Amino acid sequence: MPSSTITPDLIAEHGLTPDEYQKILSILGREPSLEELGVFSVMWSEHCSYKNSRPELRKFPTTGEKVLVKAGEENAGVIDVGDGWAVCFKIESHNHPSAIEPFQGAATGVGGIIRDIFTMGARPAFLLDSLRFGTIEGDSVQARTNRRLLAGVTAGISHYGNCIGVPTIGGEIYFDASYNGNPLVNVFCLGTLRHEQIARGAAKGVGNPVFYVGAETGRDGLAGAAFASRELTEESKADRPAVQVGDPFREKLLLEACLELLASGCVAGIQDMGAAGLTCSTCETASRGGTGVEIDLDLVPKRAADLTPYEILLSESQERMLVIVNEGQEAPVKKIFEKWELPYALIGRVTDDGMMRVRKGKDVVVEIPARALADDAPLYSREAAPWTAPAPLDLTSLPCADVQSTLLLLLAHPSIASKHWVWRQYDYMVQNSTVVPPGSDAAVFYLREADKFLAATSDCNAIYCSLDPKEGAKAAVAEAARNLACSGATSIGLTDNLNFGNPHKPESFYQLRAAVEGISEGCLAFDIPVTGGNVSLYNESQHSSIDPTPTVAVVGLIDDRAHITTSYFKEAGDVIFLLGNLGDELGGSHYLLVSQGRKEGLPPRIDFEHEKKINNQLLTLIRADLVRSAHDCSEGGLAVTISESCFKKSKDAPLLGASISLGKTGLRPDVALFNESSGRIIFSTPAAKADHVEKILSDSGNPFHRLGVVTEAPELSIEADGVKYEWNTRTLHHTWSTALPHMMQVG
Amino acid sequence: MRVAVLQFPGSNCDNDCLVALRSFPDVTAELVWHQETSAEGFDVIILPGGFSYGDYLRCGAIARFSPIMKAVQQAADQGKLILGICNGFQILCEAGFLPGTLIRNRKLLFRCESVILRVEENATPFTNKCTPGQLLRLPIAHGEGCYTADEKTLKELEEHHQILFRYCDDQGELTTAANPNGSMENIAGICNRQRNIIGLMPHPERACEALLGGIDGRFIFQSMLDWKVKSEE
Amino acid sequence: MKARVTIMPQAAVLDPAGVATAQAIGHLGISGVRSVRIGKSIDLDIDGMTKEQLHQICRDLLSNPVIEDYQLEILS
Amino acid sequence: MKARVTIMPQAAVLDPAGVATAQAIGHLGISGVRSVRIGKSIDLDIDGMTKEQLHQICRDLLSNPVIEDYQLEILS
Ligand SMILES: Nc1ncnc2c1ncn2[C@@H]1O[C@H](COP(=O)(O)OP(=O)(O)O)[C@@H](O)[C@H]1O
Ligand SMILES: [Mg+2]
C-alpha cells in the first residue's frame, strides 16, 4: 500500500468533513491512500450516496402488485404491464454539466439515462425531457445566455437521442429567472423487456471474470459526481474537469452488444459506469452481490497512456459498462464485443472476501470493504426551516387586467407558448411506434411486440412549489395523472427528479422534505408506486437557489387503442364540457406573472379525492366512446386551455373555433378565465351524444359545466356574466406558435 | 419478394423497415449485417435510415466502405432494386451510386415533421402505383438532407427524368416554404439512369400504418412489389 | 509523422453554416466581415505511410470531391 | 484581408468523429494511422477589423473554449 499523507486540506478538497474522515479511518482501520480518499469522496457525495436526501426518500410508497423491481434495488425500477411484458423507466438530471457546456451536458445526460435502462436488460423505447431555463426575452446578457443554453441543450438532446435512435416523444419547458445560470436538464427514459429478461447489477459467482467494455477511459469529467454535489461558482467553472463528450454512435453499439450479451445467457451481472465510473460500478456490483471484486487498472483500456490510478478510478468517461461473465463463457462474450467493434478487456474477477480491491499491476492501490463503501455512507437529517405560508392574494388590491389582450400575452409567454421549435429538432418518430407525438397532454407509444399502448408525461409547476412546496408537489402529481387520464390512460408508475438548492440551507431542506411528502401523498391517493428517481441538490448560482422543482414523470397504460385521446377539438358542432369546477384560485398563476410580474399568493389547493373522481369519470366516458378530445386545464386557466384545444394537431388540419358561455359565475372576468384551480378538464363530445353525457355527469354528482360548441369559424368567444370576449383563433394560434421561434431568432 | 435490409453500425431505422415490409403479404424481409459480402437471393436491397458510423466525418462517408457495399454493386449491376432511405440515400450518394450529395439543412437545424411530396415520375419500379403529380404525405427526420449537385448533374437528372419526388405545398406548388431543407429544385428523391436505384430523404416506412398517422409510404413499397411481379411475367 | 488536411467547401457550393456565422458576427456588434466559409481541419498521426496513400485517404474518405477541395500538409 | 482560424478539440477531450475515422481508415486496408482528430477550419474574408476583434470573434463565437482551442492566422 503506497503511503501518503492525507492532510486536512486534502480531505476538505475532496468535500469530506472531519467526521466523515473519522468514519473512513474506522472502516479501514488505517489511513487511506490518496486513491481511497478519492473513492470515498465520490461514493459519499450526495450524487452517489444520497446522504442528505435518503432519509426523506424512504417516505415514498414504492410497493405495488405490479412492481417487479423496486426503487433503489437496481439501476431503475421495473413495472409489469401484463402478458409477461414489463417496462423499466427512470429520470436523471444533468444540470451542472449542462450549465457549463449545454450541448455536451445535455447529450451525455441522454446517454447516461439510456445506459441505466439497457443495463436492466430493457430495450430503450422513448425519452422525455424536462427542462428549465432562465428568462429568454429581451436583449440582456442574461437573456442571451439563456437562449444559448436553450439552443445548446435542445441540440444536445437532439444529437444524442436522434443518433442512437430512441425517440424523444414529450417533455416540458418552463422559463423563470430563478434558473438564470443554473438550467435544469432532466431526462427520462423508458425501456421494455420480458419479465425473464430483467438483468441484475450484482457481482455474482466467485471467480467469475469481470469485463470492461466500451469507450476507453480518459480524463473526462474527473470526479463529476463530487462536482454535481457542490454549488456552481465562478471558480468551479474555471477549475472544471475535462468536459465529457458524448458518443451516441458508440453507445448505440454498446446498447446492441449488451442486449445481445444478456440474451446469450452468459452474463452474471452488468452495471453501467455512470457517475463515479469504475469506482461506483465495481463497489456497487460487489455490494449487491454480497461478494468482492478485484480489478487491475493496468488492464483498463485507456485513451491517454499517462493516466494515474486516481484518474482512472474517478474518470467519468461515457459509454462504458462493467460486465460480469459466467466463468467458462468468455468466448461467446468476446465474440459479441468484437462483432460490435467495441474495445474490451478482462480486468478482474469476483472474489469472496467482500473487498473492492484495485491493483495497479502488483501494487494494491485500493482495498475497501465494498458494502461499507456503498451502503454505509453517512446519513444526515438536515435542519428544516419551518415554512411560512405566503399571504393569500388580496383581490381588492389587484387590478383586473384587460382580458382581451391578456390571453394573447399568456399564449406568448414562453412557458405556455408552443414548444414546437424545440421538439421538431427531435426525431420523435424513429422506432415507428409514436402514436401521439409531442403537443398533446401526454405522449402515446405503441409497444408493438406486446400490443400495448403506453402514455407518458412529465410535470412540475415550480412557481407553485416556491410558494408552497408541499401543495406544489401535490399539484405536479395531480397534473401528471390528469394528463394521462386525458390521453385515455391509467397511471401505473412514477419517477421523480428532485431539483433543489443547497440542503444545508434550512429553507431548501424544508422544500425537499415537503416535496417528498407531497409526491408521496399523491402517489398514495392515486395508488401509483414510485419506481425510482434522482436527486439534484446545490442548484444555486449567483445569489439564490432555483425555485424548488420536484419534477415527476408518470407512465400510464391505455387498455384499448380506441381509447387513445388527444387534446385537440375534432369537429365543428361537437359539444364542449368542463369537468370540474369553474375555480377561483389566482395564487401563483401565470396570469399574475404575465399581467403583474408577480409570483405571489397561495397556489391552487389539491384535493386528491376530487382529482381521482374527475379522472375516473373522464376515463369512464372515454371507454364508453363518448369523448372526442380531452385537455387538462393548467397554466393560464380555462381560456388558454380552450384556445389550445382549438389549435390543430398538424399543419394541414383546420383551425377550429369555440363558442363558450360560462353563464353566471359571480367572479371577476380575470378570475373566471385565468384561474388555475386544479382538477379541471375540458373535453368535447359528438353533438348527438351530448345529452347522454350530460345525463351521466348529472347522475354522477361530479361538478361539470356544459360550456358550448366547437365551431367551423376560427373564432373563440367566451361569454361570462353577460359580457362576451372574442378572439380570432388564427391570431391566437399565430401568437402561440411563433413566440418561441421569434425569441430564438434574435441570437 | 425477398428484401434485404442492410444493417450498418449506427443504422436505426432497420427494424422500422422490417416492420413496415412485413405488413405486406408476399414479402419476406431480413436484416443483413454490413460485414456480409453477399446479398444473393434477395430481390431488393434497402439501405435504411439512421446514423451509420454516427454520421461522423460526413453522413454515409464511412459506411460506403463496408464489405456489403460490394454486394450492393453486384445487385445493382444485375438490375435488382436498391432503395436508400435518408441515411441510406446519403450512403448511395457517397458511394457514387447516385449523383450529387446531401448537405446540412439550409436552416441548420434537424427537422422532424411530415412533409408533402409531389410524384414527378411514375414510370419507375418505385412509383408505378402513383399517378404523376400525385401528392404523398411522408415524414422526414434529418439534419443533412439538402440535396446539392452541380448544374450539369441537375440538367442530366431532369433530362433523364430521374427526379422522382419534390417537396411541395398542399396544392402541389414547389414553394420555398414547403422545402424543409433547402434542397436544390425542391428535390426529395432521385433515381439512377437505369431506374433501379433510388434514394430519398423522407421515410416511407414511417407511413405504412394508419395508427401512426398515414399510409402514403405504402405506394412506394407496393410499386416495388407490383414491378417485381410484372417483371417475372 | 503528423499531417494536417484542410477541407473547404468549393466556392460554388452553398455553405449555410458560414452564412449564419457571418450574420452572428454582425450580431456581436462587429462589422467588417464580408464572408465566412467553414470547412474541416483534420490532424492525422501516422506511421509509415506513403504520400500516395495519404492522398488516397484524403480523396476517398476525408473529402467529398462533389462539394469539397482538400489540401494536405505534412507537419513533421 | 483574409484570415484562417483552425479550431481543434482540446487534447484531453474525446473526439468521437476522430476515433471513428481512424477505425475507418483501417477498414480501407491502410494501416499506420495512430490517431485522427477532427476540428474546423474557418476562412474569414474581412475588411478593417482589428486583431483584437478577430480574437474576440474566435473566442466568443467560432470556438467553444470549454472543449476547443483555436489558432488564428492572417493570410493576406
Ligand atoms: N422539451 C420538450 N420536449 C418534447 N416535448 C415537449 C417539450 N416541452 C413541451 N413538450 C410537449 O408540448 C406539449 C405541451 O407541454 P405542456 O404545456 O407542459 O403540457 P401540459 O401542460 O399538458 O403538461 C406536451 O405534449 C409536451 O410533451
Ligand atoms: Mg403543463
- Strand intervals (E) in B72-222: 81-85, 101-103, 111-119, 135-142, 146-148, 163-168, 187-191, 197-200
User: Across the B/C interface, how many CB contacts are shorter than 8 Å?
Assistant: 37
Mutation target among B148, B153, B157, B181 for the C interface, most CBs of C within 10 A: B148
Atom of ligand 1 nearest to the CA of A441: 22
- The residue segments making up the domain with residue C55 are 2-74
The CA distance from B146 to A155, in Å, is 19
What residue owns the CA closest to ligand 1's atom 22?
Answer: A441
Place of cell 474518405: C61
The CA distance from A689 to A694, in Å, is 9
| Residues near C56 by beta carbon (within 8 Å), at least 6 away in sequence | D28, D30
* pLDDT tens for each residue of D35-73: 999 999 999 999 888 899 999 999 989 999 889 999 999
Fold for A386-417+565-747, please state it.
Answer: Phosphoribosyl-aminoimidazole Synthetase; Chain A, domain 2 (3.90.650)
Q: Do D21 and C62 touch (CB under 8 A)?
A: yes
D10 and D68 in contact (C-beta within 8 Å)?
A: yes
Going across the sheet that includes C2-9, the strands are C68-74, C2-9, C33-46, D33-46, D2-9, D68-74
The CA distance from A247 to A561, in Å, is 37
A686 and A574 in contact (C-beta within 8 Å)?
A: yes
Q: What pLDDT is stored for residue A702 in this prediction?
A: 97
Of B13, B17, B59, B86, catalytic: B86
Q: Helices A637-646 & A729-745, crossing angle to 10 degrees?
A: 90
* pLDDT tens for each residue of A105-163: 999 999 999 999 999 999 999 999 999 999 999 989 999 999 999 999 999 999 999 99
What residue owns the CA closest to ligand 1's atom 18?
Answer: A172
Asked if residue A208 has its Cβ within 6 Å of ligand 1, the reply is no
Q: Which of B181, B212, B12, B75 is nearest to A114 (CA)?
A: B12
Q: What pLDDT is stored for residue A746 in this prediction?
A: 62
The CA distance from A630 to A615, in Å, is 11
| Residues near A456 by beta carbon (within 8 Å), at least 6 away in sequence | A89, A126, A128, A169, A170, A188, A190, A442, A443, A445, A484, A553, A554, A555, A556
The CA distance from A285 to A581, in Å, is 52
Q: List the Cα angle A232/A545/A243 in 5-degree steps.
A: 25
A431 and B15 in contact (C-beta within 8 Å)?
A: yes
Domain A8-62+199-375, second-level architecture: Alpha-Beta Complex (3.90)
- State which of A149, A419, A632, A641 you would mutate to test the pocket of ligand 1, scoring each by most atoms of that ligand within 8 A of its C-beta: A419
Grid cell, residue A238, equals: 474555471
Is CATH 3.40.50.880 correct for B2-232?
A: yes
Stretch (H or E) spanning A152: helix A141-164
Grid cell, residue A305, equals: 497512456
Q: Which of A578, A576, A606, A568 is nearest to A481 (CA)?
A: A606
Count CB atoms within 10 A of the CB of residue B74: 14
First to last CA, chain C: 5
Q: Which of B13, B5, B72, B25 is nearest to B226 (CA)?
A: B25
Q: What is the pTM for the complete model shown?
A: 0.94
What residue owns the CA closest to ligand 1's atom 8?
Answer: A172
Quote the ipTM score. Answer: 0.93
Q: Do D33 and C24 touch (CB under 8 A)?
A: no
A542 and A80 in contact (C-beta within 8 Å)?
A: no
Q: What pLDDT is stored for residue A685 in this prediction?
A: 98
Q: Do C66 and B61 touch (CB under 8 A)?
A: no
Which part of chain A has CATH 3.90.650.10? 8-62+199-375, 386-417+565-747
At A447 the three-state DSSP class reads: strand
| Residues near A624 by beta carbon (within 8 Å), at least 6 away in sequence | none
Flag residues of chain B having pLDDT under 50: none
- State which of A423, A424, A479, A642 you would mutate to test the pocket of ligand 1, scoring each by most atoms of that ligand within 8 A of its C-beta: A423
| Residues near A518 by beta carbon (within 8 Å), at least 6 away in sequence | A469, A470, A471, A472, A473, A474, A476, A477, A550
Flag residues of chain A having pLDDT under 50: 1-3, 225, 228, 236-239, 747
Spans of all domains in chain B = 2-232
Is A94 part of the annotated catalytic residue set? Answer: yes
Place of cell 381588492: A396
CATH of the domain at C59: 3.30.1280.10
Amino acid at A533: G
The CA distance from A198 to A205, in Å, is 18
Query: How many folded domains does chain C comprise?
Result: 1
Chain B residue numbers touching C16 (CB-CB < 8 A): 103-108, 146, 182
Name the CATH superfamily for A119-190+422-563: PurM-like, N-terminal domain (3.30.1330.10)
Whether C34 contacts chain A with CB within 8 A: no
The CA distance from A352 to A356, in Å, is 11
Asked if residue A173 has its Cβ within 6 Å of ligand 1, the reply is yes
The CA distance from B212 to B20, in Å, is 11
First to last CA, chain D: 5
What residue owns the CA closest to ligand 1's atom 24?
Answer: A439
Q: What pLDDT is stored for residue A224 in this prediction?
A: 53
Place of cell 351524444: A689
Q: Which of B139, B200, B141 is nearest to A650 (CA)?
A: B139
Q: Which of B43, B126, B116, B119 is nearest to B85 (CA)?
A: B126
Closest in C6, C25, C49 to D32, CB measured: C49
Burial of A376 (0-12, 13-18, 19+ CB in 10 A): middle
